[in-house]
């Protein structure tokens, strides 16, 4: 089990202009979510299928005694899976009282990006609809799609 | 500067509700017996605490109301005001108002409410009858043989509160002597506290210590000089007491004087420190023990859930260890695992017990309700409660109140007749309403029983036909029991008149649904003319249930044992088709079959030929579920699937199995 990547960082003199994100891959595209929402990153645990549930619900896992629903964003947004099986991870998010995980093809790294480099967008870059995206972040020539989790799990 | 109290608000609300429940209860006791000093004291204490809490929290209106209420209570306590129906009604009204304010605080955070109407009533009660003092006292003191002699006890070191006086007068009536005792301990005594203890013990052989100076506690800790004073009540004469005490080494009795109770008057300092050693004469005479208050800690239910999760996890990892132990065949490991097994089992049951609450919490709301209702309806009802210590899981407790209120209201409104009618039927004028709870195996039974008119099956049948719930033909074939079961059908209500009490369109079907949602059962027995009994069966907890673990293809599911009637092994050849429906014959009955793999859209194909049928019950009908294998019976800790996954048909929740995987619990009611 891998603990969340950056939790006990020295409390940095946080430049309010900077946010930390976890970058990951879904298919060929690179996405990111703010690290404050990330509770845990795990290898694929045994996922229990939920019969007759919606298609984009992959199932549930047991994370230290908690039952966590796992979403499959590939089926939700029609993405192709990519990469190696052993690179796949489950990222578990927590906001408010809700805990929920998503399947990703690979977790790349934790990045600090400047807020002013996040561009609000009305254009569609990847396969995910605009309303689920907070913006596009440019980082050293890469394009990261910043997901709006609240909208996705609503 | 105003302190931020918001973090205490929850505690305040919870405790206020508790106090309020207690207040209602005790006031009812006091109404029944206006001499119930213990109840009065309890009311006084709870009201006082409530006042303190609300003013600390800054809810001035609430504090003000309780303050005025307390004023009246003080007069009760001092005997300057008589406990009568008018004042009790007024105080009940205050309780209602307090409840309203608390609810208002809970919903809006605002505790402001104009209570001047009630305060006016309270003030008029207080001022209205101050001269009732004499009557009250005459009733307590036996009027005969007032000995005129000794009034020498004026130098008594003791000051008496009204409570003390009441106790002393009561003692006097019962021919106890009240003695003022000064005991000296030898100045060079090394163990003063032990001596004092021995003195207490010697006196308590046949007498009772009312109070002492210094306090009993100080005496116990040796915090006194060479002597101490005691006030005791006793039937033994002074000489033998002196003799008994002086047989203790290093102890001598300096003086012993008898106090004439009649000559005593109350010490009027209001904020007197509480007396230390209280002897309740009633208790002493009856040889009863004064009830001890239990020490408790208030714990957030979330923390208990958390604890429960952790225990569940521990049990799960223990399961893994067991697997390793079994495959590696390490005897040292296996021994340790056995220990862990025992401890985790104990731990689990302790955690379960912690979640249990006495049903008292719910029941205590009812006496007040029954009193008010019967008054409104001009019925005379004795309300009896049995088994309020019965414990249930917190989750069940929270849900059971409303259905019970409904049943009680029904019994009062429709069940128990008016006094005149009861006389006509040769019954006592006072009806009896019983509420019983008891524990049996893994269930709790709650019964609501009245000795009222009973249910007329014919009338129910007629009504059901009128409302189109059943056909005439159907009705003819129904048994008596089935007739009465009609009560639970949606849309059924027999009340000819819609009253405020019951029959507001909410029928017994709602009660039944609620009980069934709790995995419980409800049924009714009734005899026309003699009464009705509703019997509710509930599981002890909703968090842990017995389940049958089954598998289909490579998936494992849990079926709550409560809905399983039996299991049986079949082969493909046993299955017949009737009207496009797969069935088997089970002991001469046709049992419709559903293949679980199909219902749950299990992707994999069947591998073996083995087939088992789990016979489950849904709404009184039996249905066969075809599964691949039966794994066994198991106690499972139910977990919710969470907000995002609620309402998936056929799934009631999840469990974490011994191997750490999540298994789903089937919900028979919504599976098909």
Q: CA-to-CA distance for B419 and B424, rounded, in angstroms?
A: 9
pLDDT (tens digit, 9 = 90+) per residue, B285-319?
A: 444 444 455 677 777 777 887 787 777 777 767 77
Residues B161-185, buried b or exposed e (16+ Cβ, 10 A)?
bbbbbbbbbbbbeeebbbbbbbbbb
Tokens 């870059």 found at: A125
Instruction: Select from B309, B602, B642 the Cβ nearest to the Cβ of A65.
Output: B309
* Lateral strand order in the sheet of B611-618: B564-570, B611-618, B621-627, B589-595, B581-586, B576-578
Mean pLDDT of the residues in chain B: 79
Q: Which residues contact B75 (CB under 8 A, 6 or more apart)?
A: B81, B126, B130
Mutation target to probe the B interface, by most B beta carbons within 10 A, among A56, A61, A62 is: A62
Across the strands, what pairs with B282? none
Residue A65 and residue B645: Cβ atoms within 8 Å? no
Give which of B661, B659, B348 is closest to A67, Cα–Cα.
B661
Residues B266-287, buried b or exposed e (16+ Cβ, 10 A)?
eeeeeeeeebbbbbbbeebeee
Active-site residue, from B48, B137, B309, B516: B48
Of the CATH numbers 3.40.50.150, 3.40.50.720, 2.40.50.180, 3.30.70.3400, which one belongs to the domain with range B544-671?
Answer: 2.40.50.180
> Could you state, in order of their start, the residue ranges of all structural domains in chain B?
6-130, 152-286, 301-355, 360-539, 544-671
Helix/strand/coil for A86:
helix
Helical ranges in B467-620 per DSSP H: 472-477, 480-485, 508-517, 596-599
Tokens 């609430």 found at: B62
Active-site residue, from B22, B180, B364, B410: B410
CB pairs < 8 Å spanning A and B: 73
Mutation target to probe the A interface, by most A beta carbons within 10 A, among B651, B655, B662 is: B662
pLDDT (tens digit, 9 = 90+) per residue, B516-544?
A: 777 788 888 888 888 899 999 887 776 66
Instruction: Select from B312, B645, B663 the Cβ nearest to the Cβ of A65.
Output: B312
Predicted complex: ipTM over 0.95:
no
Write the CA distances from A61 to A68, B20, B267, B305, B309, integer angstroms: 5, 44, 70, 19, 15
Q: pLDDT > 70: what percent of chain A?
A: 85
pLDDT winner (highest mean) among A28-32, A114-118, B112-116, B203-207: A28-32
Q: What mean pLDDT comes out for the span A76-90? A: 85
CATH number of B360-539: 3.30.565.10
Q: CA-to-CA distance for B137 and B151, rounded, in angstroms?
A: 20
pLDDT (tens digit, 9 = 90+) per residue, B22-56?
A: 888 888 888 888 778 888 888 888 888 888 888 77
Nearest CA distance, A150 vs chain B (angstrom)? 12
CATH number of A18-153: 2.40.50.180
Residue A60 and residue B645: Cβ atoms within 8 Å? yes
Mean pLDDT lowest for which of B55-59, B491-495, B589-593? B491-495
Write the CA distances from A28 to A79, A109, B332, B403, integer angstroms: 9, 16, 51, 57
Determine how β-strand B555-560 pairs with β-strand B564-570. unpaired
Write the CA distances from B387 to B290, B359, B439, integer angstroms: 21, 8, 9
Q: What mean pLDDT comes out for the span A51-76? A: 88
Q: CA-to-CA distance for B9 and B48, rounded, in angstroms?
A: 18
Instruction: Select from B600, B640, B656 the Cβ nearest to the Cβ of A51.
Output: B600
Mutation target to probe the A interface, by most A beta carbons within 10 A, among B306, B553, B645, B650 is: B645
pLDDT over 80 (residue A17): no
Nearest CA distance, B324 vs chain A (angstrom)? 19
pLDDT (tens digit, 9 = 90+) per residue, B225-261?
A: 788 888 888 888 888 888 888 888 788 888 888 877 7
Nearest CA distance, B300 vs chain A (angstrom)? 16
Residue B641 and residue A57: Cβ atoms within 8 Å? no
pLDDT (tens digit, 9 = 90+) per residue, B644-671?
A: 887 788 898 898 876 778 999 998 878 8
Taking CA–CA distances from A152, the nearest residue in chain B reads B644
pLDDT over 60 (residue B275): no
The secondary structure of B231-251 as a DSSP string is: EEEESS-HHHHHHHHHTSTTE
Q: CA-to-CA distance for A89 and A75, rounded, in angstroms?
A: 16
Determine how β-strand B662-666 pairs with β-strand B555-560. parallel
Taking CA–CA distances from B639, the nearest residue in chain A reads A67
Output the pLDDT for position B482: 77
Mean pLDDT lowest for which of B152-156, B477-481, B628-632? B152-156
Q: CA-to-CA distance for B420 and B426, rounded, in angstroms?
A: 10
Q: With cut-offs at 50, 70 and 90, classify the pLDDT of residue A127.
A: low
pLDDT over 90 (residue B596): yes
Give which of A124, A88, A120 is closest to A107, Cα–Cα.
A88
Cβ neighbours, 10 Å, residue A29 = 18
Q: What mean pLDDT comes out for the span B335-358? A: 84
Kindly tell me the sign of the dihedral angle through the C-alpha atoms of A113, A115, A116, A121.
Answer: positive
Q: Which residues contact B468 (CB under 8 A, 6 or more apart)?
A: none
**Chain A residues with CB inside 8 Å of B656's CB?**
62, 65, 67
Helical ranges in B329-382 per DSSP H: 331-354, 360-363, 366-376
Q: CA-to-CA distance for B22 and B66, rounded, in angstroms?
A: 15
Kindly tell me the sign of the dihedral angle through the C-alpha atoms of B366, B368, B371, B375.
Answer: negative
Output the pLDDT for position B148: 39
Output the pLDDT for position B664: 94
B523 is catalytic: no
Active-site residue, from B19, B22, B68, B70: B70
Helix/strand/coil for A99:
strand
**Chain B residues with CB inside 8 Å of A59's CB?**
662
| Environment class of B141 (CB within 10 Å of its CB; exposed 0-12, middle 13-18, buried 19+) | middle
Output the pLDDT for position B147: 40
Tokens 């006496």 found at: B367
Under 8 Å between Cβ of B90 and B118: yes
Output the pLDDT for position B527: 87
Q: CA-to-CA distance for A28 and A33, rounded, in angstroms?
A: 17
Q: What mean pLDDT comes out for the span A111-124? A: 78
Q: What mean pLDDT comes out for the span B480-494? A: 74
Nearest CA distance, A61 vs chain B (angstrom)? 6
Instruction: Select from B600, B641, B650 the Cβ nearest to the Cβ of A69.
Output: B641
> Could you state, in order of their start, the residue ranges of all structural domains in chain A?
18-153
Q: CA-to-CA distance for A46 and A39, rounded, in angstroms?
A: 18
Q: Which residues contact A10 (CB under 8 A, 6 or more apart)?
A: none
Instruction: Select from B310, B639, B642 the Cβ nearest to the Cβ of A69.
Output: B642
Instruction: Select from A45, A49, A50 the Cβ nearest to the Cβ of B645.
Output: A50
* Lateral strand order in the sheet of B251-259: B208-213, B227-234, B177-185, B251-259
Mean pLDDT lowest for which of A55-64, A86-95, B514-523? B514-523
Q: With cut-offs at 50, 70 and 90, classify the pLDDT of residue A124.
A: low
Output the pLDDT for position B208: 79
Kindly tell me the sign of the dihedral angle through the C-alpha atoms of A53, A55, A56, A62.
Answer: positive
Taking CA–CA distances from B597, the nearest residue in chain A reads A51
Residue A60 and residue B641: Cβ atoms within 8 Å? yes
Of the CATH numbers 3.30.1370.160, 3.40.605.10, 3.30.70.1110, 2.40.33.10, which one belongs to the domain with range B152-286?
Answer: 3.30.70.1110
Q: Which residues contact B587 (CB under 8 A, 6 or more apart)?
A: none
**Chain A residues with CB inside 8 Å of B348's CB?**
none
pTM (two decimals): 0.50
Output the pLDDT for position B549: 92
pLDDT winner (highest mean) among B113-122, B137-146, B593-602: B593-602
Mean pLDDT lowest for which of B114-118, B219-223, B555-559, B569-573? B219-223
Output the pLDDT for position B436: 94
Under 8 Å between Cβ of B557 and B655: no
Please provide residue B327's backbone torsions phi and psi, each rounded to the nearest 5 degrees.
-80, -35
Residue B664 and residue A48: Cβ atoms within 8 Å? yes
Residue B555 and residue A49: Cβ atoms within 8 Å? yes
Using beta carbons and an 8 Å cutoff, which residues of A are at the interface with B? 45-46, 48-53, 57, 59-62, 64-69, 97-100, 153
Of the CATH numbers 1.10.3720.10, 3.40.140.10, 1.20.120.160, 1.10.540.10, which one belongs to the domain with range B6-130?
Answer: 1.20.120.160
Please provide residue B605's backbone torsions phi and psi, each rounded to the nearest 5 degrees.
-90, 155
Please provide residue B31's backbone torsions phi and psi, each rounded to the nearest 5 degrees.
-65, -40
Residue B634 C-alpha from the chain's centroid: 30
Output the pLDDT for position B286: 41
Output the pLDDT for position B274: 39
**Chain A residues with CB inside 8 Å of B641's CB?**
50, 60, 67, 69
Give which of B181, B178, B183, B157 is closest to B167, Cα–Cα.
B178
B406 is catalytic: no
Nearest CA distance, A69 vs chain B (angstrom)? 7
Residue B651 and residue A64: Cβ atoms within 8 Å? no
Output the pLDDT for position A122: 67
Mean pLDDT lowest for which of A47-51, B193-197, B536-540? B193-197
CATH number of B301-355: 1.10.287.560
Output the pLDDT for position B232: 84
| Environment class of A82 (CB within 10 Å of its CB; exposed 0-12, middle 13-18, buried 19+) | middle
B153 is catalytic: no
CA-derived radius of gyration, chain B? 33
> Omega before B263 cis (within 30°)?
no
Taking CA–CA distances from B309, the nearest residue in chain A reads A65
Q: With cut-offs at 50, 70 and 90, classify the pLDDT of residue A8.
A: very low
Question: How many residues are there in chain B?
Answer: 672
Write the CA distances from B92 to B17, B23, B153, B659, B668, integer angstroms: 15, 9, 42, 57, 47
Q: With cut-offs at 50, 70 and 90, classify the pLDDT of residue B185.
A: confident
Mean pLDDT lowest for which of A83-92, B308-317, B613-622? B308-317
Kindly tell me the sign of the dihedral angle through the C-alpha atoms of A94, A95, A101, A106.
Answer: negative
Under 8 Å between Cβ of B92 and B69: no
**Chain A residues with CB inside 8 Å of B650's CB?**
51-52
Q: What mean pLDDT comes out for the span B554-583? A: 90
Q: Which residues contact B6 (CB under 8 A, 6 or more apart)?
A: none
């Amino acid at each position: 089990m891998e603990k969340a990547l950056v939790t006990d960082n020295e409390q940095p003199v946080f430049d309010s202009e900077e946010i930390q994100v976890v970058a990951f891959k879904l298919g060929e595209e690179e996405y990111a979510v703010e690290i404050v929402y990330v509770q845990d990153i795990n290898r694929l645990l045994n996922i229990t299928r939920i019969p007759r549930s919606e298609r984009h619900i992959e199932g549930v896992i047991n994370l230290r005694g908690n039952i966590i629903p796992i979403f499959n964003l590939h089926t939700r947004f029609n993405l192709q899976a990519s990469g190696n099986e052993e690179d796949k991870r489950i990222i578990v998010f927590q906001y408010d009282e809700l805990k929920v995980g998503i399947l990703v093809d690979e977790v790349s790294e934790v990045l600090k990006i400047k807020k002013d480099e996040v561009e609000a967008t009305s254009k569609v870059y990847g396969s995910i609809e605009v309303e689920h995206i907070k913006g596009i972040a440019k980082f050293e020539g890469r394009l990261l799609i910043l997901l709006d989790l609240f909208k996705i799990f609503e | 500067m105003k302190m931020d109290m918001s973090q205490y608000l929850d505690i305040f609300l919870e405790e206020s509700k508790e106090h309020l429940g207690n207040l209602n209860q005790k006031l009812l006791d006091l109404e029944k017996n206006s001499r119930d000093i213990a109840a009065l004291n309890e009311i006084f204490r709870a009201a006082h605490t409530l006042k303190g809490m609300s003013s600390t929290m800054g809810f001035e209106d609430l504090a003000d109301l309780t303050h005025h209420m307390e004023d009246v209570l003080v007069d009760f306590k001092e005997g300057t005001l008589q406990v009568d129906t008018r004042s009790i009604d007024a105080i009940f009204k205050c309780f209602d108002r307090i409840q309203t304010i608390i609810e208002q605080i809970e919903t809006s955070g605002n505790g402001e409410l104009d209570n001047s109407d009630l305060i006016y009533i309270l003030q008029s009660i207080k001022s209205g009858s101050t001269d009732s003092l004499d009557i009250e006292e005459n009733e307590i003191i036996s009027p005969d043989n007032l000995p005129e002699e000794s009034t020498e006890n004026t130098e008594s070191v003791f000051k008496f509160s009204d409570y003390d006086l009441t106790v002393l007068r009561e003692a006097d009536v019962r021919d106890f002597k009240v003695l003022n005792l000064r005991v000296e301990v030898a100045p060079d005594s090394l163990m003063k506290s032990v001596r004092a203890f021995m003195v207490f013990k010697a006196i308590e052989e046949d007498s009772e210590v009312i109070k002492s100076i210094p306090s009993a506690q100080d005496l116990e800790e040796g915090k006194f000089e060479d002597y101490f004073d005691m006030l005791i009540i006793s039937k033994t004469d002074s000489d033998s007491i002196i003799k008994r005490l002086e047989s203790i080494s290093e102890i001598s009795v300096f003086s012993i004087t008898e106090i004439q109770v009649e000559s005593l008057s109350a010490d009027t300092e209001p904020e007197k420190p509480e007396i230390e050693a209280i002897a309740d004469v009633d208790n002493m005479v009856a040889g009863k023990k004064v009830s001890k208050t239990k020490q408790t800690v208030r714990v957030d239910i979330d923390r208990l859930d958390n604890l429960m999760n952790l225990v569940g996890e521990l049990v799960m990892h223990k399961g893994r260890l067991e697997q390793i132990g079994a495959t590696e065949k390490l005897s040292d490991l296996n021994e340790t695992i056995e220990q862990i097994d025992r401890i985790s089992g104990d731990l689990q049951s302790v955690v379960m017990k912690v979640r249990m609450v006495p049903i008292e919490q719910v029941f205590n709301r009812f006496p007040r309700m029954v009193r008010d209702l019967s008054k409104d309806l001009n019925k005379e009802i004795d309300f009896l409660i049995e088994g309020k210590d019965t414990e249930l899981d917190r989750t069940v407790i929270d849900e059971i109140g409303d259905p019970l209120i409904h049943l009680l209201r029904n019994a009062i409104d429709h069940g128990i007749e008016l006094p005149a009618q009861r006389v006509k039927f040769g019954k006592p004028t006072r009806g009896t309403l019983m509420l019983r709870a008891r524990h049996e195996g893994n269930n709790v039974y709650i019964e609501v029983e009245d000795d009222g008119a009973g249910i007329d099956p014919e009338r129910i049948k007629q009504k059901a036909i009128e409302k189109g719930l059943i056909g005439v033909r159907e009705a003819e074939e129904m048994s008596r029991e089935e007739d009465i079961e009609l009560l639970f059908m949606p849309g059924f209500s027999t009340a000819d008149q819609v009253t405020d009490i019951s029959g507001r369109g909410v029928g017994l079907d709602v009660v039944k649904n609620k009980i069934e949602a709790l995995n419980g059962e409800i049924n009714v027995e009734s005899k026309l003319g003699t009464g009705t009994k509703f019997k509710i069966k509930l599981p002890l907890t909703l968090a842990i249930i017995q389940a049958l673990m089954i598998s289909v293809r490579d998936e494992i599911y849990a079926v709550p044992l409560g809905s399983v009637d039996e299991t049986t092994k079949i082969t493909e050849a046993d299955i017949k088709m009737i009207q496009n429906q797969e069935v088997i014959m089970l002991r001469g009955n046709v049992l419709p079959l559903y293949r679980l793999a199909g219902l749950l859209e299990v992707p994999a194909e069947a591998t073996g030929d083995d087939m088992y049928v789990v016979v489950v019950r849904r709404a009184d009908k039996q249905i066969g579920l075809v599964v691949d294998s039966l794994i066994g019976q198991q106690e499972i800790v139910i977990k919710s699937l969470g907000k995002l996954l609620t309402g998936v048909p056929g799934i009631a929740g999840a469990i974490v199995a011994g191997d750490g995987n999540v298994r789903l619990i089937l919900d028979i009611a919504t599976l098909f």
